[in-house]
Structure 1
Amino acid sequence: MDVCYGGRRMTRTPRSLRAYKRLVEAQHSDIKIKSELKREMGKVLRALSVGSEKNSEDTDVPVEEDCLYMNFCRSQSLEHAVVMAPRYSLLRQVGRGSYGIVFEAIARRTGARVAVKKLQCNAPENVELALAEFWALASLEKKHENVVQLEECVLQRNGMAQKMSHGNKRSKQYLRLVETSLKGERILGCPEEPCYLWFVMEFCEAGDLNQYILSRRPDPRTNKSFMRQLSSAVDFLHKNNIVHRDLKPDNILISQKSGLPVLKVADFGLSKVCAGLGAGDKEGDELQAAGSESHGNDGTVNVNKFWLSSTCGSDFFMAPEVWEGHYTAKADIFALGIIIWAMLERITFIDAESRRELLGTYVRQGSEIVPVGEALLENPKMVLHIPQKTRSTMSEGMKRLLQDMLAVNPQDRPDAFQLKLRVDQVTCAA
């Protein structure tokens, strides 16, 4: 990884495990990207009329070679299915994530822009990432303006399409997806008959946090607004028992539909839903060590008491305890501290893979650039120089808040609710 420091470009080779998602990205070649884009551009996602309510979740609908049906026949036969006007049209590819291709699309009936993410279920790790995102977003009973909204999820296989619903044990296709993830072997699809999952979500036209911040002049008012929005989003997720585990500027999107920039936390492929997990679940095995402390007297879940063990995320934003593989939701607070610090001081590095300039804070050790979390793990007594720039206008309250968010000991960090209150206080006082 190349990093800009003091006007010079430096190269850093990670000394620990690379982010899990980068291993998935390596599976895709440039040739594959070009061929897939040519096939996908101009495709239309069509809808069917709805019949009776019986057996709705386990009824497949045929998919034409260039179409995916996004509403589904509700009867056991397809005799009453009537093809209606196209529902979505794919316009262009807007990005390739760690485990899928993202398209901008348009809803033909309303003219609204949506984002459509396509994932090929060609490997158990892809299925696991997709199910994690689906479970996290589908588990949210309420909406939050700073969390990306999932409209629907569709499974396409063998020329058939089926809408996925969370936890539907009557759906054989859904159960096979779960089995693929748990067993770590291909259950659905084959090279000759590929299987896909499609996610339809709200579209964020202003790109990600990197693009937005670095393409504009520094604006203290925008920084304060973004801090409040980010802390509110993480507080909402933790209250709903979701640990994101991959907070970074790439996964924070911007919408300007209302005229003002609104942040949207996105990409929940590495997230973990901490509620309702038992020792028999795959997730439960990872979280089992939390014990009875994970629930309060009123039965509510405390995500800061659930212990996670998978070392995953993006290295520049990983907390010290994540590198060790034993952490809680407080790891999200650390990642958010790195993001806010980099945003306020516009600290950047050049990613060697994408060649993009990205927001991110780090520690310089001789000729090496080291992620803050990794450096703190090696030297817990290390003092972080906040602010990093000598001519900084950062307030004392903001300095203390960042120091607390980036504390080596997770117990010394504020939880998401405390963070939201402190961010409100600091931004109002500044």
Structure 2
Amino acid sequence: MLIFDKKEGMDICDGKKRRKVKGGMRGCRRSVAGKMRREACKVLRSLPVADNNHPEPMEEEEDEDFFSISFLRNDLLEPAVVVAPRYSLLREVGRGSYGVVYEAIARKTGARVAVKRLQCDAPENVELALAEFWALASLEDRHQNVVQLEECVLQRNGLAQKMSHGNKRSKQYLRLVETSLKGERILGYPAEPCYLWFVMEFCEGGDLNQYILSRRPDPRTNKSFMRQLTSAVAFLHKNNIVHRDLKPDNILISQKSGSPVLKVADFGLSKVCAGLSSGGKGGEDYPAAGGGGRGNNQNNVVNVNKFWLSSACGSDFYMAPEVWEGHYTAKADIFALGIIIWAMIERITFIDAESKRELLGTYIRQGTEIVPVGEALLENPKMVLHIPQKTRSSMSEGVKKLLQDMLAVNPQDRPDAFQLEVRMDQVTCAA
């Protein structure tokens, strides 16, 4: 099994070094995020609003698997009253470089939810947390293939405050934005940790890697997943959101309805393009303190593909050639989607040397090394991709042609998300 090791600047494959890409990875690569402290989740206590109907304080919870959420209003501190926790944390289901995800129960309804805790202890962590909040909070409509944010809570020193989109009256929120913009810690001291808690729908089916690789190949499931993924990306682009980190790890599976439903998740590297300059120069402007901008989604079919982004971020095997150069648009999401779909259909995998996990992902062989497709195309733009890769493949001619277009080295030759959605329906119905 081929092994890819990310520890040496992304350029060690099978133990041999390759040259580094010029400019390297800048800005929002996962590797720059600060390490999460691994302390157990403590009981959060908060100061409630004046009209809270809890005249008698509750006893302190000794267990470490609950958190309570009451909210401050306009940053005014009311007399302290302890309230019952709203969510019971059941178990840890995932851990990354800057966050922990728990399965939890909403005490009022009994519904299972996912709770992600992000520690805002460094500017780069704040930037990732705010990017996720701005993206999910900017969505006015729901989509069945995009993970749903129920609420986001800012917590510091045992005080919790509900985050709302564009809340310029919240001093804590504005301080987070300022931390991200200035690139320096201004929100308290290390002894006063600040957290963002994201409460989202729970996906019990794991991620796309786990789901696909634990089952026998099923063409019907593949077709369904292809349509669902293109629908999700079209929805995001319609709402001016470029995901920038599409990969099987960030695609979750819900099985509540009986049939598997994909949910695109993890928006820490996403960009809300509304209100940004659409000029040809790179340069990534930040949204104003109000967030990424809501509403006015007219004409976005064209406009989202005219916003130029410059931070070379994402995950190596799914990054488009232009992302490695640091000058790209939303078409980079189309390339990543092409890699995912190709790997899913043919079950092309590699072993990530750091996590030891088998992951879906397509690559190019160069001798004994494996190279991400986007990097290989950057080095050799005239290279022809052999799709399908396996001799005995059931891939139809329509899907083959569509994947070739999605993985075109020139982003202008790729379909946009809306053209892709139409074509995907056609080729999956015909196959």
| TM-score, structure 2 as length reference | 0.85
Matches within 5 A, 1:53-72: 68-72=67-71
**What's the offset of the Cα at 1:162?**
1.1
**What's the offset of the Cα at 1:386?**
0.2
SS state at 1:253 partner: strand
2:14 to 2, 7, 10: 10
Contact 1:46-1:85 at 8 Å conserved across structures: no
Distance 1:156 1:426, change over 3 A: same
Tell me which residue corresponds to 2:255. 256
Tell me which residue corresponds to 1:142. 141
Distance 1:306 1:12, change over 3 A: farther
**1:373 paired to 2:381:** no
Tell me which residue corresponds to 2:361. 360
Distance 1:299 1:23, change over 3 A: closer
After the TM superposition, which of the residue ranges 256-265 and 9-18 deviates more from structure 2?
9-18
Unaligned stretches of 5+ residues in structure 2: 6-12, 53-59, 288-295
Distance 1:296 1:149, change over 3 A: closer
What amino acid is the match of 2:223? K
SS state at 2:192 partner: coil
Contact 1:146-1:229 at 8 Å conserved across structures: yes
After the TM superposition, which of the residue ranges 153-162 and 197-206 deviates more from structure 2?
153-162
**1:78 paired to 2:89:** no
CA distance in 1, matches of 2:114, 2:309: 31
Tell me which residue corresponds to 1:428. 429
**What's the offset of the Cα at 1:98?**
3.7
Distance 1:359 1:296, change over 3 A: closer
Tell me which residue corresponds to 1:113. 112
Tell me which residue corresponds to 1:238. 237
SS state at 2:203 partner: coil
CA distance in 1, matches of 2:148, 2:297: 29
Tell me which residue corresponds to 1:289. none
1:27 to 20, 32, 35: 35
SS state at 2:71 partner: coil
CA deviations 1:396-418 (Å, max 9, x no partner) are: 00100000000011010000000
**What's the offset of the Cα at 1:296?**
11
What amino acid is the match of 1:27? K
Tell me which residue corresponds to 2:285. 284
Matches within 5 A, 1:97-246: 97-246=96-245
Distance 1:366 1:11, change over 3 A: same
Tell me which residue corresponds to 2:419. 418
CA deviations 1:214-266 (Å, max 9, x no partner) are: 00000000000000000000000000000000000000000001111000000
CA distance in 2, matches of 1:337, 1:362: 12
CA distance in 1, matches of 2:25, 2:16: 12
Tell me which residue corresponds to 1:345. 346
CA distance in 2, matches of 1:128, 1:165: 17
CA deviations 1:154-209 (Å, max 9, x no partner) are: 11112211111121111111110000001100011322111111111111111100
**CA-atom RMSD, angstroms?**
2.8
Contact 1:18-1:315 at 8 Å conserved across structures: no
CA distance in 1, matches of 2:389, 2:172: 52
Unaligned stretches of 5+ residues in structure 1: 54-62, 287-294
**What's the offset of the Cα at 1:78?**
2.8
CA distance in 2, matches of 1:83, 1:414: 54
CA distance in 1, matches of 2:298, 2:208: 39
What amino acid is the match of 1:359? L
After the TM superposition, which of the residue ranges 350-359 and 109-118 deviates more from structure 2?
109-118
CA distance in 1, matches of 2:44, 2:254: 24
CA distance in 1, matches of 2:85, 2:45: 4
Distance 1:73 1:169, change over 3 A: closer
Contact 1:68-1:156 at 8 Å conserved across structures: no
CA distance in 2, matches of 1:64, 1:18: 44
**What's the offset of the Cα at 1:283?**
4.1
SS state at 1:101 partner: strand
CA distance in 2, matches of 1:46, 1:99: 23
Contact 2:33-2:124 at 8 Å conserved across structures: no
CA deviations 1:31-57 (Å, max 9, x no partner) are: x53xx2xx22xx56678876569xxxx
Tell me which residue corresponds to 2:318. 317
Tell me which residue corresponds to 1:393. 394
CA distance in 2, matches of 1:299, 1:373: 26
Distance 1:91 1:255, change over 3 A: same
**Residue-pair matches, total:** 397
SS state at 1:151 partner: strand
Distance 1:191 1:240, change over 3 A: same
**What's the offset of the Cα at 1:97?**
2.4
Tell me which residue corresponds to 2:303. 302
**What's the offset of the Cα at 1:341?**
0.1
What amino acid is the match of 1:401? L
Contact 2:284-2:310 at 8 Å conserved across structures: no
Contact 2:150-2:201 at 8 Å conserved across structures: yes
Distance 1:44 1:146, change over 3 A: farther
Distance 1:268 1:77, change over 3 A: closer
Q: Percent identity?
A: 79
**What's the offset of the Cα at 1:27?**
3.2
SS state at 2:86 partner: strand
SS state at 2:85 partner: strand
Tell me which residue corresponds to 1:290. none
Distance 1:184 1:321, change over 3 A: same
Tell me which residue corresponds to 1:384. 385
| TM-score, structure 1 as length reference | 0.85
Tell me which residue corresponds to 1:333. 334
Contact 2:387-2:400 at 8 Å conserved across structures: yes
**What's the offset of the Cα at 1:22?**
3.6
SS state at 1:363 partner: strand
CA distance in 2, matches of 1:187, 1:49: 25
Contact 2:234-2:417 at 8 Å conserved across structures: yes
CA distance in 2, matches of 1:206, 1:367: 35
